[in-house]
A and B are shown apart, each in its own frame.
Chain A
């Protein structure tokens, strides 16, 4: 720790009986290593005899930073809500009757966005207690889309049927073509040849269609994997109709962002709570 020794030197020049910086303060000094002379002076203060109250000051400083963070997120949330309401009002304005509201809420809605809370810990930079502070990290995550086995089986069956129908159609078309060419022949030998040809052609074309259907199978498979269908009760924009105004989509975007910001804000509040308790503990010492 070269900086700790720097600090020790500085403090020695001022007073010879200085306590040595403890782990928490060393951490602080390494973090601020690149900040020029002002920070050096600050570090000199860390090893001051009245260290404990100073460390509380520093904890309070960190606390203030969190409050600042909280307020900026608050402002952002307020703006996002205001934009969301404005877009919703515009969407309503363009409507000939009624408004986008509770009459259209889905009768069996299911949450598409849920909160995920995880407990985390962090060490306050300026703490005099060598102890991690526990706080909760809030995050918005997408809810799992339920697998509807019945619907999936039905969809698969429909796909199969559709494929079979197209195969049959192809074969019929080919047979028709071949029979058309066959009827043009007048000579019996030609006709016989034609029949042979027809059989051959039908055989090769049937093979072709098989290949084609296989290709279709291969193409369709990844598509079904790529697109898990969101059920209507989890897709709120669809509750309000098929062709909803652009403003309603914009409003949805604003509220989506607002919920994300709210999760962020809850994390900051949780850190504030944790730090508050920590400060109370340090004050008791």
Chain B
């Protein structure tokens, strides 16, 4: 087992309130001993900087996150960061939200597939 994957077990979420509520209902929410959340609720007041900071925190600073789930419409706001992200751990996965159904055109996996086939 690679060292990077060891001790990574939490599911982090960056999403709108309903998405976070839903995933917290599924039992993914966690607060560390120093009260750090593993989720960020993004609303109208949230700035791109906030989202970026949370993304960096979950992917680079913290070592206990196994996967980061992010609403696709929020991922669009920090697309350049996602495109530059290549680490296997934590995995970053885009998920649909209430008002924005999943768009396969923006799917990072499928875009990589196109690259493989030389498109």
Contacts and interface: CB of A to CB of B under 8 A. Distances in A.
B74 to A, nearest CB: 14
Given A101-B17, A102-B21, A236-B27, A78 B67 contact: no
Interface string B1-40: 1100100111100000111111111111111000000100
Interface string B62-100: 000011010000000000000000001101010111100
A113 B21 contact: no
Given A115-B10, A116-B9, A236-B29, A109 B1 contact: no
Interface of A is mostly: helix
A105 B29 contact: yes
Contact of A276 (B19, B95, B104, B116): B116
A100 B20 CA distance: 11
Interface stretch (A2-10, A39-47, A254-262): A254-262
B104 A85 contact: no
B88 A273 contact: yes
A85 B98 contact: yes
- Dominant secondary structure at the B interface: mixed
A43 B95 CA distance: 41
Contact residues on A (Cβ < 8 Å of other chain), bracket:
35 or more
A91 B45 CA distance: 25
B96 to A, nearest CB: 5
Contacts, number: 137
A165 B96 CA distance: 57
Contacts of B25: 236-237, 248, 251-252, 255-256
Interface stretch (A170-178, A219-227, A264-272): A264-272
A101 B21 contact: yes
A187 B69 CA distance: 88
B11 A259 contact: yes
B28 A113 contact: yes
B18 A88 contact: yes
Contact of B96 (A78, A101, A270): A78
A273 to B, nearest CB: 7
15 contacts: A67-B109, A74-B104, A77-B96, A81-B97, A109-B30, A110-B31, A136-B5, A138-B66, A138-B91, A236-B24, A258-B26, A259-B26, A262-B95, A270-B88, A279-B116
Q: A-B pairs with the 9 shortest C-beta distances?
A: A112-B27, A111-B30, A115-B66, A113-B27, A255-B26, A114-B9, A252-B25, A255-B22, A85-B98
Interface of A: 60, 63, 67, 70-71, 74, 77-78, 81-82, 84-85, 88-89, 100-102, 105-119, 136, 138, 143, 234, 236-237, 248, 251-252, 254-256, 258-259, 262, 265-266, 269-270, 272-273, 276, 279
